[in-house]
Structure 1
């Protein structure tokens, strides 16, 4: 029975990995990059490369600078405050129809920064990780959820079939045949980051519980829009007050901030939002920052805009606090650089785990499939090359396009941000085509291309902005220096892989 069970688990592990591996790699790759999404923003938006100011920021001065830019009749406006990772102010506002607009400001001068013309890391890479940019009926999030469930199956079955898991952790033979060394590396990266893989996969499922179980609240709140609104209010806060349709004023936001910080016992807000601006029933929301906490808290305080009187305070209840804690350990929005780099390294382990799983399957069946005239290996190898090295190429094409295109670039009515994303999708499609047309050289040629594009991106940033690594380190622009260092490291690793995969004999 035990042997039969182990064989069943091995079969499940193998075919679940082959069938879902391409999707899993894309999710892990983009998730790994998302650990530093705001740092990628700084690299892709040169005019936001600001050194954080040591001077305290006055919300009253901010309001004076931004309110003239808010159109009449706007439903709300919001300013996200600068942080060490995102040293800019972000003004966003919604009109009466819910249409959102956002602009960036320099916190020191309160001058508006020109439109950067890119979705960058936080607008493209991060949403790709959890939605695949497939919005129709939340299909992307459902696909990611299915992939997460498959990952849990793979992790459990992997532990079951590897009986000597601790011994395999200390076994890596890089000079053995490719199938053997791939399996060693697969086992090593799997065991090394096993707790992380479980934690990041399970938390990813939990934080989207309202999508995967959209009617779960009905057992307590009932059905209908009113019940859904009551659930949202209890779970997420969201105080509301109707407009008075009479003119009103905005009082001191600095005084409201001081009151909020006293209520939070020293906690600071990370954004301020004004609802119904210019109306007598206008009110102000302040949200507490979670930069110093693991839990992505939902602490909110609402004030009357004119008088500054406290209207409502919200703190999440225990169940929601657990959900927000899981969100915190998944999204890692708190400030802890050592842990952030560990997340990045563990994410790369996940990428290597998936890639070597592909390699082991391909090399284990290459000879038998060729002898039987089967096309399975060629199909899976094309998928593997396109989904592993291909998405890396596409990401670097995205970065290169960002450094090549001028800020006002447009083509056939397509704006610069869409051109950058178009470069990503076209490069990824080309990588898949190349993988199926040249499977024998696919790995090595795409690895060389990765090395070349990584170096090109670094050099284009240097030549276009003057921010070479020594300068960025000397001026405190550590986000840009770190991005350049990762590009340089990626080029070195890709060149090493290209040399070994291009000249290796597996006989």
Structure 2
């Protein structure tokens, strides 16, 4: 008698499981670091406690005037000045200058009050987690982006196949049976999957769109040509513009305040993100006022370009082509820079829910296979250790990065890079321990280690950063303590569940 061919659901079940298993560890890391990235500006402030708080009443025009005065003193003769103005989420002016088109860029942080050069501890700040989540940090060239893109594609396959596999997807959402072993892991996986499903589809698809020219560059090459594609695309997708060569004729710069007032009248007060000055002090100078990303979904570039000598408006870029507007909207949805604090928290918790979806799926896979006859014990031990190192180990490594920021000497050479080394060394140590210890004991020890590190952070912060702290620090320290308590609970509960 011929066996019946597997149906669509059976085929999708196999696809769902193996796509999830192969991409699961990296997807978990991408969800965690991507979620942290929604607060990267605030986290960067916490990681640089020496910097003063943002003034309660900040005048962007006054801050820009202070920045120009400092750049005229520190970067006289540079071909290009650029500074990002402080806003609701950042507390300093980030300024830079270049000598020549191919010259090195020098960067400084300035006080928005008096333009003084600030010297905080060296750190990559929240940018480390932002870049890790789509480039995996240490991998050469664009290899990390290709791997992350492949994982995103596999995640979309997992989501679509999961919807097909689960016949009672919505009724399962309202079902959770704790203490039932494998059934409990499946219930937790279903709940976390259905609750965040719209977010997962959006974030995976828009993540692929943000890097579409890395994966599918041929359309741009056909439009712009092989040689000019990269600079032409950069000019189209960023706030870049053509400027004339230096005239060699000195000319006093036009007042910046009226130029910023014109931008504020178009975009609203406080929506200026960046000021770019080319050939400062020359008759051929240009000043670009660039719109910030706050208060709008699309990140497509918008700016006003002025004559730097007489202040005349030369060009305005307010609208983009349909293709660029679509790309900018997808990019903006992914980054969430437009979001107010409440929506940004929703982004964060949705990312953490995605991490929980991946983690429960990984654990469920090992729990199911441990009960099957003929299962490879070596393979099961490897996947169990990998799950513990990936899930609990990554949470421990994030705490290690934050602790390194507070404990490393401020004058240490390559201090910022040592914070990153601390993250990876901590993660590697948890992987070695999980491989050596294995099983439920590894889960318990790693979660309790993570709990200890996260709970130490607020105490250490109060001792080293000083009291009283501003509200931002209190908020982060409270979040760290809550994370520590959650890890403590997981250290108690999860090893029991994984033995069932």
Range class of TM-score, shorter chain: over 0.9
1:217 partner SS: helix
* Contact 2:67–2:110 (CA under 8 A) maintained in structure 1: no
2:172 partner SS: helix
Q: 1:66 & 1:16 partners in 2: Cα distance?
A: 52
In the alignment, structure 2 segments of 5+ residues that lack a partner are: none
- How big is each residue's C-alpha offset from its partner over 1:486-505, in whole Å with a ceiling of 9 and x where there is no partner? 11111111101111234558
Structure 2 CA distance for partners of 1:277 and 1:136, relative to 1, 3 Å: farther
TM-score by length of 1: 0.92
Q: 1:464 & 1:71 partners in 2: Cα distance?
A: 38
2:306 partner SS: strand
* Contact 2:50–2:120 (CA under 8 A) maintained in structure 1: no
Instruction: Name the counterpart of 1:452.
Output: 452
Q: 1:12 & 1:408 partners in 2: Cα distance?
A: 52
Is 1:483 matched with 2:476? yes
Instruction: Name the counterpart of 1:442.
Output: 442
Among candidates 317, 320, 324, match of residue 324 of structure 2: 320
Deviation at 1:265, TM superposition (A): 6.3
Deviation at 1:479, TM superposition (A): 2.7
Among candidates 364, 381, 385, match of residue 360 of structure 1: 364
Deviation at 1:115, TM superposition (A): 3.4
1:483 partner SS: helix
Is 1:111 matched with 2:120? no
Deviation at 1:288, TM superposition (A): 1.1
Q: Where in structure 2 are the equivalents of 1:231-242 lying within 5 Å?
A: 231-236=233-238, 238-242=240-244
Instruction: Tell me whether 105-114 or 83-92 shows the greater mean CA deviation.
Output: 105-114
Deviation at 1:330, TM superposition (A): 0.7
Q: 1:243 & 1:165 partners in 2: Cα distance?
A: 63
Structure 2 CA distance for partners of 1:265 and 1:32, relative to 1, 3 Å: closer
Deviation at 1:55, TM superposition (A): 4.2
Instruction: Tell me whether 294-303 or 235-244 shows the greater mean CA deviation.
Output: 235-244
Among candidates 143, 146, 149, match of residue 145 of structure 1: 149
Structure 2 CA distance for partners of 1:237 and 1:215, relative to 1, 3 Å: farther
* Contact 1:130–1:140 (CA under 8 A) maintained in structure 2: yes
2:113 partner SS: coil
Is 1:43 matched with 2:36? no
Among candidates 331, 336, 342, match of residue 335 of structure 2: 331
Deviation at 1:384, TM superposition (A): 1.2
How many residue pairs are counted as aligned between the two chains? 491
Deviation at 1:287, TM superposition (A): 0.6
Deviation at 1:52, TM superposition (A): 3.1
Instruction: Name the counterpart of 1:279.
Output: 282
* Contact 1:270–1:288 (CA under 8 A) maintained in structure 2: yes
Q: 2:58 & 2:367 partners in 1: Cα distance?
A: 60
Deviation at 1:247, TM superposition (A): 4.1
Instruction: Name the counterpart of 1:420.
Output: 419
Instruction: Name the counterpart of 1:496.
Output: 489
Q: 1:69 & 1:218 partners in 2: Cα distance?
A: 40
- How big is each residue's C-alpha offset from its partner over 1:294-338, in whole Å with a ceiling of 9 and x where there is no partner? 222411111111111122222322221111111111101124111
In the alignment, structure 1 segments of 5+ residues that lack a partner are: none
Instruction: Name the counterpart of 2:104.
Output: 99
Q: 2:381 & 2:498 partners in 1: Cα distance?
A: 19
TM-score by length of 2: 0.93
Structure 2 CA distance for partners of 1:301 and 1:496, relative to 1, 3 Å: same
Among candidates 125, 132, 146, match of residue 129 of structure 2: 125
* Contact 1:75–1:98 (CA under 8 A) maintained in structure 2: no
* Contact 1:243–1:280 (CA under 8 A) maintained in structure 2: no
Instruction: Name the counterpart of 2:271.
Output: 268
Q: 1:71 & 1:148 partners in 2: Cα distance?
A: 46
* Contact 2:80–2:280 (CA under 8 A) maintained in structure 1: yes
